[in-house]
Amino acid sequence: MWKRFSVARKPAALSVIAVLALCVVLFLTPEKTDFRSSALFARDASSKDTHVDVAAHLDRSILTKDDMAILEVNIQNNNPEPLTDFHFSIAAPGFGWNPEEAKTEIPDTVAANSAVTASIPLKALANSGSYNISIFYSWNRQSRYSSAISLGPLKMAGIFGQDNWSRFLARLTLPIVLAGLGYYFQLRQKTRDERQQVRQNILPLVMSLAERHDMPIVTSARILIGHYYDLTQKNPPASSLDEVSFDALFLLKRMDYLRRDKGQIFFQDNAAEARWPPTRGLYSEKN
């Protein structure tokens, strides 16, 4: 018994394993894309007017979670006066970094005709998505000046990232739709086959029973109704009570024969169904 149970469950287990393997393949197979990892560089477009050249550089544009990337910020002061009260901040969604460490990399004063370079480590925290890094800065030189530059997009790529899930669901949608349509058409075909089987097997039997029983009963009922009409509605009567009685007994005999041969008689009308058992007692073999 246990052996039969194991053999019966083996195809189902293999089917489940095959489906899981297909899902893994669909999930892990990479999609062909034109997005390639490359270095990112940004420069302040207003440097010609201020004679302060601020540029940012990142060594790559695709990272995975917990990867470390080095953001390099270069500040070149081409003015004969120093830049004082220099403030610097970073907005890096999806990354972790130490603001206090970044402040120590950039001095408050940038001397005249000199350059300052800061290297700020960024740790990727997100599993998926695309992000931009914005750098905001300001200084004093005769008046207050502020500006900003942006690096990006930086793409987060991981095994369980959003891109893999989106690609997996997109690839799985078509098989699910096709499987649903196949199941629907299979049910319709099964229903059609069952109806065809009914037509081939049951319909000839119904026609044979109708020819053997129903049609003679209907004929006897019409003859009975006709003779009863001739007896009650015509003057002088065109029929006799004996003819009507004979037709009634003959009809009951045919119905009783159908009951004995096939077991029961069913009527579409409930009133006729209720009248049949008492009427059936009017005729019997003993009479």
- Please tell me whether residues 219 and 275 are part of one structural domain: yes
pLDDT for residue 282: 43
Q: Which residues, in sequence order, are bridge partners of residue 145?
A: 139
Pair of tokens at residue 49? 């007017």
Distances (CA, A) of 107 to 53, 86, 103: 16, 7, 7
> For residue 276, is it within any domain?
yes
Residues contacting 216, CB < 8 A, separation 6+: 254
Q: DSSP class of residue 75?
A: E
User: What 8-state DSSP symbol labels residue 17?
Assistant: H
Which one-letter DSSP state was computed for residue 83?
Answer: B
With tokens 């700020």, the residue in question is 120
Long-range CB contacts (< 8 A, 24+ apart) of 45-48? 46/147
Predicted pLDDT at 5: 45
pLDDT at 274: 57
Residues 148 and 213 in one domain: no
The upper half-sphere exposure of residue 231, i.e. CA atoms within 13 Å in the direction of its Cβ, equals 14
Looking at the fold, whether 145 and 218 belong to one and the same domain comes out as no
The fraction of the chain above a pLDDT of 70, given in percent, is: 75
- 86 in a domain, yes or no? yes
Q: Rounded CA gap, 72 and 78, in Å? A: 19
Flag whether 194 is in a domain. Answer: no
Does residue 64 contact residue 157 with C-beta atoms inside 8 Å? Answer: yes
Q: Is residue 110 part of a domain?
A: yes
Same-domain status, 216 and 147: no
Residue 66's domain spans which residues? 40-157
Report pLDDT for 33.
Answer: 53
**Claim to verify: residue 150 and residue 216 sit in the same structural domain:** no
Residue 34 counted as domain residue: no
Count of other CB atoms within 10 angstroms of residue 268: 6
Say which DSSP state 213 is in: I
Q: Do residues 102 and 120 lie in contact, with contact meaning Cβ atoms separated by under 8 Å?
A: yes
Tokens 């015509």, located at residue: 234
End position of a domain, from candidates 157, 175, 193: 157
Instruction: Return the bridge partners of 96, or none.
Output: 123
Asked if the structure places residue 168 within a domain, the reply is no
The distance of Cα 11 from the centroid of its chain, to the nearest Å, equals: 26
CATH code of the domain in which 76 resides? 2.60.40.1230
Write the burial class of residue 99 (CB in 10 Å: 0-12 exposed, 13-18 middle, 19+ buried): exposed
Number of domains forming the structure of the chain? 2
CA distance 103 to 270: 96
Chain center to CA of 212: 55
Per-residue pLDDT at 218: 84
Q: What is the pLDDT of residue 56?
A: 92
Same domain, 151 and 207: no
One domain, residues 246 and 144 = no
What pLDDT shows up at residue 110?
A: 87
Any domain includes 108? yes
Contacts with 271 (C-beta within 8 Å, 6 or more apart), sequence order: none
CA distance 176 to 7: 28
Residue pair 109/76 in contact (Cβ under 8 Å)? The answer is no
Ranges of the chain with pLDDT below 70: 1-16, 18-20, 22-36, 158-165, 167-168, 262-287
Neighbouring residues of 207: CB distance < 8 A, sequence distance ≥ 6? none
Residues 147 and 85 in one domain: yes
Instruction: Looking at the structure, tell me whether residues 137 and 76 fall in a common domain.
Output: yes
